[in-house]
Every structure is written in C-alpha cells, then in structure tokens.
Structure 1
Amino acid sequence: MKKFVTQHFLIKNVFFHQQRIRRNVIFTTTSIWDPFDINEEENALYEQERDSHGMSLKNIFLICGSCCIVLLIILAFSMYTTRERIHNEKRIIQIKRNSSMLCLSAIFSLKKSLKEYQKRLSMLENTSFDNQKSATNSILATGGGKVVVAAVLINATNAVIKTIGWLFTGSASLFSEAVHSIADTCNQLILTFGLYQSIKKPNPEHPYGYSNMTYISSLISGVGIFCFGTGLAWYHGVLVLLHPQEMESVFWGLALLSGALISESATLYMAVTEIRASAKESGLRFWEYVSQGYKPNVNVVLLEDLAAVLGVCVAASAMSLSLYLQSPIPDAIGSLIIGAILGGVASFIIYSNTVALVGRSIHPNQIEAINSDLENDRMVRALYDIKATDMGSQSVMFKAEVDIDGREITRSYLEKVDIQVILEEMKKVDSIELAEAFLLKHGENIVDRVGAEIDRIERNLRKKHPYLRHVDLEVL
C-alpha cells in the first residue's frame, strides 16, 4: 500500500512538471522568461492538483481502512464460529464420555452384584459344616461332646466316692485320687464350656468362628491339672512322709477304688472308641492322631482317664503294700507317683494345645491330597507358598499362590462367547482407538474369567475335602 501511494505521488509530480515545462517553453518562444513571474492560472492549477492529490491519498487511506475493518470482521467471525464448533465438539465428547461412564458404572454394579452373590454362595458353603455341627445347638450332637459330658458325670461321682473313702481311711494315695477326680471334674466342665463355645457360628466380629475355644479350654484344663492335681498330690505325699499316720478301713478303701476303676475304664473306653474312629477317618494311626491333638477335648478326656486308671492301680498297690508292711510310707510314695503321672499328662496337654494355638500345619498326607487335586486342574500351572493351618474342630484354613495358565483361561473365555461376533468386531478395527477399545473390552472379560475359575476351583476343593473351611487362592 505504501509503495502504491509513493508511485502515485511520483506520477503526479512528473505530470505536473511536464505541464509546467511545456508552458515555460511556449512562454520563452514568445517573450523573455522571468523566473519570478508566476501566473495566477498556474498557481490555481498547482493548488488544484495538490488538492486532488491530497484527496486521492485520503481515498486510498479510507479504502485501506475499510479493507482492514472487513478483514477484522471476517477474522472475528471465523474465530467465533471456530470456538463454537470446538465447544460443540467438546460437548459431544463430554456426552459420549458420560454415556460411557454410565455404561461402565452399570457394568461395575452388575459385576459387584455377581461377586457379592458368589461370596454369599461361598459363605453358605462354608457354613454348611457349621450347620451340620450345630444343627441341634447342643454339644451332645457331636461324638466328642458325648464323651466329655459322660466324663463329667462319672468323674464327679468318683470324686465323691474317693473323698468319702479318704475320710474313712486317711490314705494319702486315696486323697491324691480324690483330688485327681475333683480336678478332672472341674477341667472337664471347662472342656464342656469350650466345646459349647466352639460350635457357635462365625459372625462379623469373629469371621473364622470359635473353633479355637477347644484348644483354649484344653490348655486351661492342662494348667489346672498341673497346679491343682499335681501340686496337692505332692504336697500330701510329702506331708505324710514327714508326719506318718496310720491308715484305717483299708479294705473299704480298696473296694471303693475297684468301683472307681470300673467307671474310669468305661469313660476311657468311650474316649478310645471316639478317637479311633476319628483317626481312621483322617487316615492316621491312633497315637499319631492323639499327639497331633486334632480333637483336644477328647484327647484331654482320654489322657485324664488313662491317668485315672493308672492312678487307681498305683493307689491300690500302695495301700495294699502299706497294709502288708504296716507302714504309711508306701502309701505316701504312691501319692507322689500319682502326682508325677498327673504332671506328665498336664505337660503333654499344655504343649500340644500351645502348638495348636500358635498355628500348626495339617498332616502331610492331607496337604499332598489337596495339592494333587489343585495341580490336576487344567487351569493351574503351578502352586507356591502353600499353607494349611489346623483351626480346631476338624476345620482347616488353606492358602496357596496359584500360577494360572493364560492360554487355558483365554480358551475358557472363548468357549463362553460367540467367535463369529469377535471376528466381526476385529474386521471393524481400523484405527488405534478402535483397537484399544477392542482390547480393553475383551481383556477385562478375560480377567473376570480368572476370578470365576478361581471360585470354581475353591468350590471343588471344599466339596472334595469338607474339612477345608476357608480356602484362599491368590493368583500370581
């Protein structure tokens, strides 16, 4: 624009000077030229040309300004339309995003409902064992409960009989046996309370139930036997050794011990029968089952009755020897021996139940059977960090890390969907966005399939091994 104005101005000046030179030439041909003689017409023409030149510049500036204004208006309009278009596109994208979020939230809600349903189904399967145990809400519904209740009644009767015999005879051995029966009665009452607590159903406060109460009550029973039974038996035996006393009515005492031997043998037979059946069911030998302490309440009854039978035999032998020698010393020694027997039984009970409370693994044969079932499943590639903890009351908590076969999981997913539909979706994938959406959709479904397969494996394990109360399989 500036160049155009300059050229126009130069053309005007050239034209003006050409006209002036032409007039000057004509004037010199006719007369003598005076450079200071300026014609009024020439001045007027010059002024007119200068004014027209100024008007031309103004017109040019006006045209240029108008063009600039028009360009600015066009630019502003284009920017406005571009912003509006961008705003509309953003709004469309936001609407699509909101709709996709609604769809995803609906899918997540559905999946959450399915998982809650599966969890509830698993809880029902887990509590089926509890419902079978506590169907009558009574400890008499279990074999161990019957043995414990029978032991309470028989030991209470024996405690009364032995106490009466001690009062009549003054025998230290018979006193130890009376103390032994009283301790057994109190301990078995504790076992009864622990067994009653152990059959309670799990709740939110105690999600794994109360099965450990059998171990706790057995531990308290062992401590009671050691402190009360062993302590009093040794105390009375030492007291008789230091201050010997003659015994009276020894034959009545022996007769009472014979009756106690029969009753103690009856409860011992019940405990042996119950443990033998449980050991056979678990595939273990009798003493192996006892040493592992899988039924602590029945084990306590067995050991207490075994100690009672041995104690009755020791007391009868000591009384007979004292009668034969006419000396209370053998009877006092018999009291010390009975105290030692009670101490050994109490120590074993305390040790076995302490180990169980700390957390003890189940038998290796049972672990091997569970691992074999898991490894035979086509979804499982390998097992790691296997833990099977005995929780008491014939219940086990099993935990393992599982290496899942990805090909089998994918094959299982493809068996549940229509391959033709997936093929049509693949044909439509022609951009990165569509490929990403396709992979996200089916990838998420495959991951969900992993959870479904884990639930299936856990259900199969519980059906085949009913003692598995809690199964936790963690995917690597």
Structure 2
Amino acid sequence: MTVIIAFLANFLVAVAKTIAAAVTGSASMIAEAAHSWADCGNEIFLLIADRQSKRSKDVRHPFGYGRSAFLWSLVAAFGLFTAGSIVSVTNGISQLSNPEPVESPLVAYIVLAIAFVLEGISFLQAWRTSRRLAKERRSSTWDYVLGTSDTTLRAVFFEDSAALIGLVIAGGSIGMHQLTGNAVWDAAGSILVGVLLGIVALVLIKRNFEFLVGTSVSPTVRDAVGRALLEAPAVNRVTYLHIEYVGPNKLFLVAEIDLTGDQTEHDVARRLRDVEREIATHERIEAVVLSLSVDDEPSLEFGPAPAL
C-alpha cells in the first residue's frame, strides 16, 4: 500500500511538473520533473521486488526468493541515480552556460505547492509505518529505516524525503531568480536537486548491496532471536548462533543448542527436530538448522530485547 500511494502521488506530480517545466522553461522544474519520473519508474521496480520476494520457496530455492527484493531495489536505486541525479546535474550545468529567464513563475509555484501536498501525503504514510515499527523494536525511526531489511519502506521513505527537500530547493531557486534577475540561481537549483538525488541514491545502493551480498543482523535482532531460543522449554543453553537475511524481514537461522534433560540419542534427535519445527512457525523465520552443543563450549549471553 505504501508503494502504491507513492506511485500514484509521483505520477500525478510528474505530469504536473512536466507541464510546468514546458511552460516556464525553469531548469529547477526540469530537474523536478526528471526526479518525479525517476521515482515513478523506481516504484514500479519496487512493486516487482515486493511481488517476486513473496514467491514460495521450492527445491531450487530452499530459502525462497526474498533476496530478489534486494536486487530489484538495487536496480531502482541505480535508476534514481541515472534518471534523476545525472539528468538534473547535467541540465543545471547546461543552463549555467546558457541561462534563460523563467516564464510564468506563478505556474511553477502552484505546481510545486500541489506537489508538496501530494508528496507530503505519501511521506506521512511511510513515516507513520516506520515510526510504528520502530516503536515495536524500541528503536528511533531514523535508525529503523536505515537498518531495516524492508527495502521497499526504506526506498519510499528516503525518496519522499528527498522529494520534499527538492521542492523547497526548486521553489527557493525560482524565487531567488525572480528577486535577483539572475538565471544562475535557477540553474544552481537544478544542480542541487541532482546532488540531493545522488546522495539518496548512493545510500540506497549501498544498503541494498549489503543485504544482497549478506550483512549481519543488528544486536537487537540477535538478542531477540537468542532470547526466543532460550525461552523454548526444551532448550537449556545456546553456544552458537548465526543469523542472516534471506529477504525482507526473513531470516535464516543456524544455532547450536544444549537440550534439557539427559535422554537417548533417538529421543534427542526427535526433540531437536521438534524445536526446529516450532521455531520455523515464526513468520520471520524462512529456514532453521539446529545442532547439538559440545559440553565444553561456552554459553552465549543475550541482553533484553523486544519481541522478534
């Protein structure tokens, strides 16, 4: 729903900005139009990512298709960099060498104001979702968005944030052009919008690349998984724990545990399988592999953590 709202808002904004750019000839408006069309394309990729990642696992993909979300989100981030950032910077540099006056600036202001409202609605949806999930995990909204494996939510949050800042930059640049009569301000606005998009794109590229090649979970997630293991009635202690993301909010868990009691090998194997099946029922666990601890291995300690 978050992506659909963002796509509809960006599509309407992109059309309005394109018309305004044609009417005004403003470099900043051209940059903003490129920004919105890039966002529209990105959100299509994000919808593909969301759909592909939810495919059921099969024999050839025992961990499911979750990592495809990181791949498609990486493609979307590259799209934002090329179709948004590079186009905006190039356009601004071109305008610097051949500055032109902005015609009918009122049209630009009206479109920017409407765009700010629509982008604000989309951002508010992403912000509310992020804040709610951050509270559940006892984290700040910013830390949650930056660290979450939910690539779709992070992309919409960052792109909408950049959109709102970009609108302010474009409006300010056109305003300074009017006040000073110097078209350089408008060209500088286009370059600044491009730089902003480049920074956001590089952040998204970096995070998606890290999840795609494998990144460690946060200490909070590790503590939550460890505490959940120890709370199982059959588990006495945990001596090894490996957790990795295999998709948005999907984990692959490998652990060595010591079972309670002192039973025969056959009974121990059955109890170990039962614990695996119990853990695998959790919505965030895609796959789990448990083995028995060796007596002389030290126990792992886990701090208090919110529910997984």
Q: TM-score, normalised by structure 1?
A: 0.59
Q: Secondary structure at the match of 1:397?
A: strand
- Structure 2 counterpart of 1:328, which letter? A
- Structure 2 counterpart of 1:470, which letter? A
Give the structure with the larger helix fraction. Answer: 1
| Change in 2 beyond 3 A, CA 1:313/1:377 | closer
Q: Indicate the residue corresponding to 2:255 in structure 1.
A: 400
State whether residues 53 and 66 of structure 2, in contact with CA within 8 Å, keep that contact through their aligned partners in structure 1. yes
| Change in 2 beyond 3 A, CA 1:378/1:152 | closer
State whether residues 64 and 286 of structure 2, in contact with CA within 8 Å, keep that contact through their aligned partners in structure 1. no
Q: Indicate the residue corresponding to 2:160 in structure 1.
A: 305
Q: How many angstroms apart in 1 are the aligned matches of 2:160 and 2:109?
A: 19
Q: Indicate the residue corresponding to 2:81 in structure 1.
A: 226
Q: Secondary structure at the match of 1:311?
A: helix
Q: Secondary structure at the match of 2:221?
A: helix
Q: How many angstroms apart in 2 are the aligned matches of 1:171 and 1:317?
A: 12
Query: Would you say 1:172 and 2:22 are equivalent positions?
Result: no
State whether residues 173 and 331 of structure 1, in contact with CA within 8 Å, keep that contact through their aligned partners in structure 2. yes
Q: Indicate the residue corresponding to 2:227 in structure 1.
A: 372
Q: How many angstroms apart in 2 are the aligned matches of 1:249 and 1:409?
A: 84
Q: Secondary structure at the match of 2:122?
A: helix
Q: Indicate the residue corresponding to 2:266 in structure 1.
A: 448
Q: Indicate the residue corresponding to 2:299 in structure 1.
A: none
Q: 5 Å matches for 1:229-268?
A: 229-268=84-123
| Change in 2 beyond 3 A, CA 1:241/1:395 | same
Query: Would you say 1:200 and 2:55 are equivalent positions?
Result: yes
Q: How many angstroms apart in 1 are the aligned matches of 2:138 and 2:270?
A: 33
Structure 1 residue 391 displacement after superposition: 2.2
Structure 1 residue 283 displacement after superposition: 3.2
| Change in 2 beyond 3 A, CA 1:327/1:461 | same
Q: How many angstroms apart in 1 are the aligned matches of 2:237 and 2:33?
A: 59
State whether residues 379 and 409 of structure 1, in contact with CA within 8 Å, keep that contact through their aligned partners in structure 2. no
| Change in 2 beyond 3 A, CA 1:470/1:159 | same
State whether residues 234 and 335 of structure 1, in contact with CA within 8 Å, keep that contact through their aligned partners in structure 2. yes
Q: How many angstroms apart in 2 are the aligned matches of 1:194 and 1:366?
A: 23
Q: Secondary structure at the match of 1:362?
A: coil
State whether residues 237 and 335 of structure 1, in contact with CA within 8 Å, keep that contact through their aligned partners in structure 2. yes
Determine which structure has more spread, i.e. the larger CA radius of gyration. Answer: 1
For structure 2, the 5+ residue unaligned runs are: 294-308
Q: Secondary structure at the match of 2:262?
A: helix
Q: Indicate the residue corresponding to 1:440 in structure 2.
A: none
Structure 1 residue 469 displacement after superposition: 2.4
Q: Which of residues 194, 204, 221 in structure 2 aligns to 1:339? A: 194
- Structure 2 counterpart of 1:170, which letter? G
Query: Would you say 1:409 and 2:226 are equivalent positions?
Result: no
Q: Indicate the residue corresponding to 1:82 in structure 2.
A: none
Q: 5 Å matches for 1:106-185?
A: 146-185=1-40
Q: Indicate the residue corresponding to 1:31 in structure 2.
A: none
Q: Indicate the residue corresponding to 1:472 in structure 2.
A: 289
Comparing 292-301 and 260-269, the one that deviates more: 292-301
Q: How many angstroms apart in 1 are the aligned matches of 2:190 and 2:110?
A: 18
> Bigger relative contact order, structure 1 or 2, given CA contacts below 8 A and separation 6+?
2
Deviations along 1:167-225, one digit per CA (max 9) or x if unpaired, are: 00000000000000000000110111111111111122212111112211111111111
Q: Percent identity?
A: 29
Q: TM-score, normalised by structure 2?
A: 0.90
State whether residues 145 and 153 of structure 2, in contact with CA within 8 Å, keep that contact through their aligned partners in structure 1. no
Q: Which of residues 284, 289, 297 in structure 1 aligns to 2:139? A: 284
State whether residues 171 and 247 of structure 1, in contact with CA within 8 Å, keep that contact through their aligned partners in structure 2. yes
Q: How many angstroms apart in 1 are the aligned matches of 2:164 and 2:20?
A: 17
Q: Which of residues 461, 470, 476 in structure 1 aligns to 2:279? A: 461
State whether residues 403 and 475 of structure 1, in contact with CA within 8 Å, keep that contact through their aligned partners in structure 2. yes
Structure 1 residue 380 displacement after superposition: 4.2
Q: Secondary structure at the match of 2:229?
A: helix
Q: How many angstroms apart in 1 are the aligned matches of 2:27 and 2:224?
A: 53
Q: How many angstroms apart in 2 are the aligned matches of 1:365 and 1:255?
A: 46
Comparing 384-393 and 179-188, the one that deviates more: 384-393
For these two proteins, the number of residue pairs brought into alignment is 293
Q: How many angstroms apart in 1 are the aligned matches of 2:199 and 2:56?
A: 35
Structure 1 residue 409 displacement after superposition: 3.2
For structure 1, the 5+ residue unaligned runs are: 1-145, 411-445
State whether residues 293 and 352 of structure 1, in contact with CA within 8 Å, keep that contact through their aligned partners in structure 2. no
- Structure 2 counterpart of 1:449, which letter? D
Q: How many angstroms apart in 2 are the aligned matches of 1:466 and 1:232?
A: 42
